[in-house]
Amino acid sequence: MDKTKQFEALVHILWDQEEKQYLVHVPRQTVSKVSVHAELKNEMDPSRYVHVMDIHSHNNMPAQFSAIDDQDEKATRLYAVIGRLDQYWPAISVRLSNGGKYMDVPPRTVFAGYGQPSFPGEWEKNICKSPQRRRQKNLRLYLQRSGGGKE
Ligand SMILES: [Zn+2]
């Protein structure tokens, strides 16, 4: 992907009930500057993986949930949006959705730290450019695997 352009992107945070650890899953998705359309078929086995959180980026825009986000984020899980990725410190907003009713959550209660800014290169292979827009942003989520907490 062109690392100089601005696009949204989406990742899923899953809890592996067998390995007792969180993992980051990048669903196949089509992205533009203002949208992400993820393919939800062929998802990870729900009998093993608990879908805990969705995280999507707002590239250089504010980390505020949009009206479209409100329409899309109806499942019962955590949702995070990361914006201002053009800044040294990105902005993060987190909320809990219970069937589409929302409660804001302080990001520090969900994210322990940013750690080293790196991610596996294979995550990018599932992100395709939207045909309507040619501008693209490299998603840089400075997430670390949680290390398999037992709580
Ligand atoms: Zn959004």
d(CA 112, ligand 1 centre) in Å: 22
- pLDDT score for 112: 78
pLDDT tens digit string along 95-115? 999 988 999 999 988 987 655
Note down the domain range covering 108.
3-146
Give me ligand 1 centre to Cα 38, in Å: 13
C-alpha of residue 4 to centroid of ligand 1, in Å: 20
Task: Give whole-number Cα distances, 122 to 27, 117, 118, 127, in Å.
Answer: 12, 15, 12, 10
Beta-bridge partner residues of 52: none
At residue 126, does pLDDT exceed 80?
yes
The enclosing H or E element of 72 equals helix 67-72
pLDDT of residue 132: 60
Number of folded domains that form the chain: 1
What separation in Å is there between the alpha carbon of 115 and the centre of ligand 1? Answer: 24
Q: Is residue 135 part of a domain?
A: yes
Find the range with the poorest average confidence among 8-17, 18-27, 122-131: 122-131
Write the CATH number for 32: 3.40.140
Gap from CA of 65 to ligand 1 centroid (Å): 5
Q: How many CB atoms lie within 10 A of CB 132?
A: 9
**Token reading at 45:** 């086995």
| Residue 151 in domain | no
pTM (two decimals): 0.71
Question: By the 8 A CB rule, do 126 and 10 touch?
Answer: no
What is the predicted pLDDT for the residue at 114?
54
**Per-residue model confidence (pLDDT) at position 33:** 77
